[in-house]
Amino acid sequence: MGLADRLAPKQTQLPPAPVPGAPKSAPAPSFQGPSAALQSLSARFHQLVLERLDLAVVGQLGPQELQQRLAQSVDQLAVSERAVLSAEEKRHIVESVFHELVGLGPLETLLKDPSISDILINASDVVFVERAGKLERVPVRFRDDRHLINIIQRIASRVGRRIDESSPMVDARLADGSRVNAVIPPLAIDGPSMSIRRFGSRPLDASALARNGAMSAEMLEYLSVAVRSRCSILIAGGTGAGKTTMLNALSSFIPEDERIITVEDAAELRLMQPHVVRLESRPANLEGKGEVAIRDLVRNALRMRPDRIVVGECRGAEVLDMLQAMNTGHEGSMSTVHANNTRDVVSRLTTMLGMAGTALSEETMKTIISRAVHLIVHVSRFSDGRRRVTGISELTGQMGATIQLHDVFVFERTGTGANGAILGTHKQLAKTALGHLMGRNPGGH
């Protein structure tokens, strides 16, 4: 019996209490974390180890050497504290302290699990993950709010951002490209919270999306021709619908001899072509200076001799510069927008154009949109956790202030199967109305 087992209180196991705000459909957690006693023991040894280590020396050690040094320190402390540690307890303590010193603390275990797509931290002791589209609570916890804030600040500082009481929200990314959003008090009333949207080690290509049913083989062929033919495309959908995944997938069809400039709030696109330049926006500093907005980067991208510009997401005035780029020799550019369906995209774009500070009439705005955008691809996340393309529409013209949309593909839901699985098929409603574009030389402008 290890020390943690001996320290653990003897009590009857009770079912976990319901978690406020947890989804009712969340299954029992499958993640087996360390016991509370072992976590307490690790925290105690962590503090003792830090008191003994010279942090200046620690910063110069490689990972393997640091782990060896930590193991020696734990052995010495076990003797001085008269604690008998099992091999598993020692391994956990060394790993825990190592992650605290050079990693992201309790998050490291979750980040190593490839089946986890989202990590949602509601409080220092309330952590959920999403696996296969389903949320579940996991027994991972931070020591307290200060511990969680320290990890959040470490993540932000690694990408040149900050989060504190004067700037209590931050968008950042991890080294693997995972997207991070964090909010701390005073905005987060119940304590700091953090959301991490993870991506695979390699982005899914479009053929993989077709294989897993996100789109049909016909849609895959249609979209590959559209991208190679330099059709300008907007990908629309709600939060978590898979817009960025689809943008990555469609970008894989861009020929390798083209120069691509990507513009994002937090860099997460991973284009595999050799000729890619990645730009990332920057918030203002403590004095309120130095901000570089998405719109600034889109304008600058136009001076970088791009063949195509790929904007991670259009949310405001930058849409004007993006549409103008599509209209002035940069056809084949792409971006994403939040919208409920393909037709809602037009009204969203009109609203964002109004944020650009120009006195444009609605008809003029619609003209800019209809001449710039060729295709809208809508994606959705269904209740069974699966993400699918639910519609592809072409912009075929304009009558006054009305843009004409031509629906080519839709997803038709047919029912609900076992375990709540959504049943349905992708159907082609019509042939393309953009044959004059689809057949043109992919390398032409």
What HEC string does 175-216 produce?
CCCCEEEEECCCCCCCCCEEEEECCCCCCCCHHHHHHCCCCC
Name the pairing type of β-strands 126-131 and 134-138: antiparallel
pTM above 0.85, yes or no: no
Scan for tokens 């804030």, then name that residue.
Answer: 149
Contact criterion met (CB below 8 Å) for 428 and 407: no
Name the helix (H) or strand (E) containing 337. Answer: strand 334-338
Question: Which pLDDT band, with edges at 50, 70 and 90, does 35 fall under?
Answer: low
Order of strands, sheet of 134-138, starting from the edge strand that comes earlier in the sequence: 134-138, 126-131, 116-123, 193-197, 179-183, 169-173
Name the pairing type of β-strands 260-264 and 308-311: parallel
**Average pLDDT over all residues of the chain:** 85
> What was the pLDDT predicted at 5?
42
Name the helix (H) or strand (E) containing 387. Answer: strand 387-399
> What was the pLDDT predicted at 401?
82
Question: Which pLDDT band, with edges at 50, 70 and 90, does 24 fall under?
Answer: very low
> What was the pLDDT predicted at 32?
53
| Domains of the chain by start residue, with CATH | 1-20+33-102 (no CATH), 103-200 (3.30.450.370), 206-438 (3.40.50.300)
Q: Which two tokens stand for residue 38?
A: 């072992």
Question: Which pLDDT band, with edges at 50, 70 and 90, does 388 fall under?
Answer: very high
Question: Lowest-confidence range among 44-53, 301-310, 342-351?
Answer: 44-53
Name the helix (H) or strand (E) containing 224. Answer: helix 217-228
Between these two residues, 358 and 233, which has the higher pLDDT value? 233
**Rounded distance between C-alpha atoms, residue 144 and residue 150, angstroms:** 10
Model pLDDT for residues 250-300, shown as the tens digit of each residue: 999 999 999 999 999 888 888 989 999 999 998 887 777 888 999 999 999
Is the pLDDT at 61 greater than 90? The verdict is no
Model pLDDT for residues 137-153, shown as the tens digit of each residue: 999 989 899 999 999 99
Q: Give the angle 278-167-99 at the CA atoms, nearest 5°.
A: 70
Question: What is the mean predicted confidence (pLDDT) over 97-101?
Answer: 83
